[in-house]
Amino acid sequence: MFSLFYICFMENSVSINIESIIRRKTEQILTSEVGDELVMMDIDSGQYITFNKVAHLIWQQLEQPVKVNDMILALMEKFAVSKEECTKDTLDCLNKMNRLNMLSVL
């Protein structure tokens, strides 16, 4: 359901789970919408990152601090997906974003 494409990443060892409260970091990231996708550049590392429609929607939800479980429930309302699949795919996506140092875990 979700895929996150990126070129290399900086390691962040904090793992995100459904109880985590997270928020996106924006200080070092430039963004541009291209159709349903979001193209980003980390100005500190020079990395380019492209989010598909679903990862873009997740990124939008991270503007304010959000509990991961609440995000999963919101995504389930928007897409016809089981809780198990949505949980797995959302956590995979968020942990990829976290490895790219794009998130703050509160």
Is this model's pTM higher than 0.85 or not?
no
pLDDT tens column, 5-30: 444 444 555 789 999 999 999 888 99
Q: Can you spell out the DSSP letters for the chain?
A: ---EEES------PPP-TT-EEEE--TTEEEEEETTEEEEEETTT--EEEE-HHHHHHHHHTTS-EEHHHHHHHHHHHS---HHHHHHHHHHHHHHHHHTT-EEE-
Please tell me the predicted confidence (pLDDT) of residue 90.
Answer: 97
Instruction: Return the domain boundaries, the chain.
Output: 17-105
Kindly report, residue by residue over 46-100, the tens digit of the pLDDT: 889 999 999 999 999 999 999 999 999 999 999 999 999 999 999 999 999 998 8
Tokens of 59: 């990124």
